[in-house]
Amino acid sequence: MTREQAKERISKLRREIDHHRYLYHVLDRQELSDAALDSLKHELFKLEEQFPELVTPDSPTQRVAGAVQKEFRKVRHPSRMFSMEDVFTPEEFGDWHARIAKLLGQPSFEMFCMVKLDGLAISLVYEDGVLKTAATRGDGVYGEDVTANVKTIEAVPLSLRQPTGGEMRAALEVGPPEEVQPRAKLSSFLSSLKGEVEIRGEVYMSKRAFAELNREQKKRGEEVFANPRNAAAGAIRQLDPKITASRKLDFFAWDLVTRVGQGTHTAEWELLRLLGFRTNPNSGAAESIADVAAFWKRMLAHREKLDYWVDGTVIRVADNAAFEQLGVVGKAPRGMIAWKFPAEEATTVVEDVQWFVGRTGALTPVAVVKPTWIGGTTVTHASLHNLDEIRRLDLKIGDTVILYKAGDIIPKVKKALTRLRPKNAREIHEPKKCPVCGSPVSRRPGEVALVCSNRRCYAQETERIIHTAVAFDIIGLGPKNIERFLNEGLIRTPADIFWLKEGDIAALERFGELSAKKIVEEINRKKSVPLERFIIALGIRHVGEETARDLALNFRSLEKFRRAKEEELLAIRDIGEVVAKAIGEFLSDTASQKLINDFLNAGVRVLPAQPAAGLPLADRNFVLTGTLRAMERDEAKRQIRERGGDVSESVSKKTSYVVVGEKPGSKADKAQKLGVKIIGEKEFLAMLRR
């Protein structure tokens, strides 16, 4: 066979294989047997093997290809991946609908309903019709590049499908006749598939695949997975795509993020199918609250019959222009809501209560319960929060209890069924000593939690080191490895991570030279860390990601932060007396300052927080006044800072722009007096989009 003949045959084989992938995964039809389709794939593989220069990234043979990866690189999403606000009752959904109706200035509006899968959100970016990258949600701005693994999922097209002429004409007929410009844009896109297109969806594991995976795990004597979401997430984060392929993952597309001329999400749903994506059939348009409620009830009754787990429904404003106009509140689009199903409940028996020690020394009681199945997960432990909660529940060991899950991963004890209490039920006593190190425990003034008094407690040290590894994002240094290194005497403090040597790790049983080399290389790569991540790594009480970011943006450098006084901390937005006191106590503690020095002496380089020169709003200072329609003020501030700008509360000659919303205050008047440029919300939003 000549090269030209091979090229023609390869092209035909790819089209045929992709056509049958579309029939099977999108249209739920099978015209070829698995054996016949495998035969076509085998022929294609052999031809590409003979003519390797004809292999392209979107060939069906490239689903499981390439070497084992060393790590997952971070990629920036084309647009931020938001989470969703949850509601749990008809009243809460009605409140959301009323708010949206008021903002849109119309009593009713079309909505689109879909089931909420318990899976893993993925962003797919196609360039000129070919899959370029697939990334996890991550922090919403940056995710992990998992392209090689996602390519193993048959339901994800490696290239966008070219719609037929009849399909294009049908797609263009959707929408009001006056929408000439969007139609022209859509026609141009469907004809060429040119440009960058982002599609989002859910990677999940079916109930059947999950049961099969756990059967295989048991056969090999390995630990079974607790739930399909964890199994799917673990499969996507495998460094070897062949392992991902063996896990039989699936995919539903639910959002065409790039605006290619589609007017509504209803039209978008059909457009996704035309492009080769599988969309969930349990979806559709709704005109009223009653329609949505009927859909929610139908899915609640039907969910056990589905071959995948769902935990609610998602409702969004169908009109895309209105959806974008509504903007974002906090970390969620205002025009979309998740109406969750009622908390799943089950009864079980409390067999014991264990006290766990966290990195700050706080003791948390956890009920050990007789294994029971809730929401697709086998539950063996349940949260009890603290001793006050145990007293409120009137709980004893041996009690039959109701467990529930309501949007939380960890089940909670809802109620003790005291009338079923056995005669030998035992009281739950407040521990006088730490269950790990035996040191005395006490309560901090004004707090409920019991605290271990020994900062060198093994449990605290372990949790602090685990927390540090997570904050520095050190891949491969998980809890099991950390506990092993602690037990072997290789580490004792968080900073000791950065002194680990290849030879010391390789000398341990079950660790070879290659794995030791990978761990140390990863640690060395992560020695340079942004100030906000370093602040998180310090493990200061009450300081989470948002507070760490505020601290970094205010103090800019580690040296300034470590010398911060309580009055300076109180002047920072969203930092109150309790948090300021906790930070002040930490920084005034000699052991804390030694910890910072230990990190620096181990080679950690803390990068100062400053606007990146290349970002669009670098060196620009904004003041916001009045109410913005498109987003909450905190979200506007976050977006400014994300683009390199800064936000102040008062107007000065250093202010670049004063953004004026509805009902502005005196800041606008002061801006006029000082000659500071005033811009409206429309101009501000355009600035953010650049």
Domain containing residue 365: CATH number: 2.40.50.140
Using a pLDDT cut of 90, give the percent of the chain over it.
50
Q: Which of 63-77, 170-184, 269-283 has the lowest mean pLDDT?
A: 170-184
Residue 682 three-state SS? helix
Q: Are 623 and 590 in contact (CB under 8 A)?
A: no
| Over residues 431-441, mean pLDDT | 95
Q: What are the residues whose beta carbons fall under 8 Å from the beta carbon of 394, sequence distance 6 or more?
A: 416, 418
CATH number at residue 12: 1.10.287.610
pLDDT in tens, 419-433: 999 999 999 999 999
Does residue 377 sit in the same domain as residue 333? Answer: no
Does residue 146 sit in the same domain as residue 205? Answer: yes
pLDDT value at position 444?
80
Does residue 145 sit in the same domain as residue 229? Answer: yes
Instruction: Give the distance from CA 2 to its chain's centroid.
Output: 49
Strongest mean pLDDT among 72-76, 526-530, 679-683: 526-530
Does residue 590 sit in the same domain as residue 639? Answer: no
pLDDT in tens, 617-656: 887 889 998 888 777 777 788 788 778 787 887 888 889 9
Query: What gap in Å lies between CA 56 and CA 63, rounded to an integer?
Result: 11
Residue 56: which domain range?
3-62
| Over residues 330-351, mean pLDDT | 87
pLDDT value at position 407?
52
CATH number at residue 558: 1.10.150.20
Does residue 182 sit in the same domain as residue 284? Answer: yes
Answer whether residue 612 is part of any domain.
no
Answer whether residue 10 is part of any domain.
yes
Q: Are 334 and 103 in contact (CB under 8 A)?
A: yes
Which amino acid, residue 313? T
- Residue 221's pLDDT band, with cuts at 50, 70 and 90, is confident
CATH number at residue 684: 3.40.50.10190
Q: What are phi and psi of 684, to 5 degrees?
A: -65, -45
608, 541, 539, 546: which is closest to 580 by C-alpha?
Answer: 541
Does residue 297 sit in the same domain as residue 326? Answer: yes
Query: What gap in Å lies between CA 5 and CA 605, rounded to an integer?
Result: 58
Q: Which two tokens stand for residue 573?
A: 């937005």
Answer whether residue 69 is part of any domain.
no
Element (H, E) at 188: helix 180-192
Query: What gap in Å lies between CA 371 and CA 373, rounded to an integer?
Result: 7
Q: Are 314 and 114 in contact (CB under 8 A)?
A: yes
Query: What gap in Å lies between CA 566 and CA 581, rounded to an integer?
Result: 7
Answer whether residue 350 is part of any domain.
yes
| Over residues 404-424, mean pLDDT | 83
Which of 400, 431, 451 is the last residue in one of the domains? 451
Q: Give, in order, the Cα–Cα distances in Å from 232 to each of 82, 114, 235, 379, 409.
A: 20, 21, 5, 19, 16
Answer whether residue 200 is part of any domain.
yes
Answer whether residue 74 is part of any domain.
no
pLDDT value at position 610?
67
pLDDT in tens, 256-307: 999 888 889 988 998 999 999 999 999 999 999 999 999 999 998 888 889 8
pLDDT value at position 305?
87
547, 545, 541, 537: which is closest to 467 by C-alpha?
Answer: 537
Query: What gap in Å lies between CA 414 and CA 405, rounded to an integer?
Result: 9
pLDDT in tens, 242-256: 888 888 999 999 999
pTM over 0.85: no
Which of 607, 633, 660 is the last residue in one of the domains? 607
Cβ density class 244-281: b for 16+ within 10 Å, e for less? bbebbbbbbbbbbbbbbbbbbbbbbbebbbbbbbbbbe
Does residue 440 sit in the same domain as residue 324? Answer: no
Q: Which of 22-26, 93-97, 158-162, 490-494 has the lowest mean pLDDT?
A: 22-26
Q: Which two tokens stand for residue 477?
A: 């240094």
Residue 375 three-state SS? coil
pLDDT value at position 637?
83
Does residue 400 sit in the same domain as residue 521? Answer: no
Query: What gap in Å lies between CA 152 and CA 520, rounded to an integer?
Result: 30
DSSP 572: S
Does residue 598 sit in the same domain as residue 639? Answer: no
- Residue 121's pLDDT band, with cuts at 50, 70 and 90, is very high
Does residue 112 sit in the same domain as residue 179? Answer: yes
pLDDT value at position 67?
53
**What one-character-per-residue DSSP string does 36-94 give?**
HHHHHHHHHHHHHHH-GGG--TTSGGGSS-SPPPS-PPEEE-SS-----EEE-SHHHHH
pLDDT value at position 376?
62
Q: Which amino acids are annotated catalytic?
A: 116
Does residue 188 sit in the same domain as residue 120? Answer: yes
Does residue 125 sit in the same domain as residue 273? Answer: yes
- Asked if residue 176 has pLDDT above 60, the reply is no
299, 58, 289, 12: which is closest to 161 by C-alpha?
Answer: 58
Which amino acid, residue 217? Q
Answer whether residue 79 is part of any domain.
no
- Residue 605's pLDDT band, with cuts at 50, 70 and 90, is very high
Q: What is the domain count for the chain? A: 6
pLDDT in tens, 529-551: 999 999 999 999 889 887 898 89
CATH number at residue 296: 3.30.470.30
Which of 526, 545, 577 is the last residue in one of the domains? 526
Q: Are 121 and 204 in contact (CB under 8 A)?
A: no
Answer whether residue 215 is part of any domain.
yes
What is the overall mean pLDDT for the chain?
A: 88
- Asked if residue 181 has pLDDT above 80, the reply is no
